[in-house]
């Protein structure tokens, strides 16, 4: 049933598919969509950390990935404001 391997391999599949999706997925020429696609491997990594009982690492990762998304979106918005080609 839902044993520990289920969570682990679900995480593995999510990480690999999500990273492929954010590299060659649909619509990734838009940097916002590419940034949002990165959330899928982030969920997979969270499942893997959960499998290993790394609670503090999981909490810190959630906080850090939020800040990273904010920084990336700020960079995208400012570069678009400047009229750089994206």
Partner 1 sequence: MTATVLVPNVVSPVVVGLFLPAVFTGIIVGLIGLLSISYQKNDLHALILTDIVGIGMLIIVASVGTDLAESLVLPGLVVELAEIMAISEILMSREIRKQGKTVDLMPMPLNLDMEVLTTAPIFFAIILVAYGAFLSGFTGGAIAGGGILFYVITRLARGVPANIWEGLAGASGIAWCLWLVGFLIFFVAPDYWLLALFLSAFGVFIKVTFKASLVGVMGREEFKKE
Residue 25 per-residue DSSP state: S
Q: In angstroms, rounded to a whole number, what is the distance separating the alpha carbons of residues 23 and 25?
A: 6
27 binds partner 1 (CB under 8 A): no
User: Residues 54 to 73: which contact partner 1 by CB under 8 A?
Assistant: 54, 56-57, 59-61, 63-64, 67-68, 71-72
1 binds partner 1 (CB under 8 A): no
84 binds partner 1 (CB under 8 A): yes
Instruction: Kindly report the number of other CB atoms within 10 A of residue 32's CB atom.
Output: 14
40 in Cβ contact with 62 (< 8 Å): no
Query: What distances in angstroms separate CA 23 from CA 1, 18, 80, one per listed residue?
Result: 33, 9, 21
Interacting residues with partner 1 (CB under 8 A): 4-5, 8-9, 12, 15-16, 19-20, 22-24, 31, 34-35, 38, 41-42, 45, 48-49, 51-52, 54, 56-57, 59-61, 63-64, 67-68, 71-72, 74-79, 81-86
């Amino acid at each position: 049933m839902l044993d520990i391997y289920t969570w682990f391999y679900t995480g593995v599949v999510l990480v690999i598919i999500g990273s492929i999706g954010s590299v060659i997925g649909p619509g990734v020429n838009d940097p916002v969509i590419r940034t949002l696609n990165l959330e899928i491997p982030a969920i997979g990594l969270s499942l893997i950390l959960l499998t290993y009982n790394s609670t503090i690492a999981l909490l810190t990762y959630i906080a850090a990935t939020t800040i990273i998304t904010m920084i990336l979106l700020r960079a995208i918005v400012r570069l678009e404001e400047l009229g750089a080609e994206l």
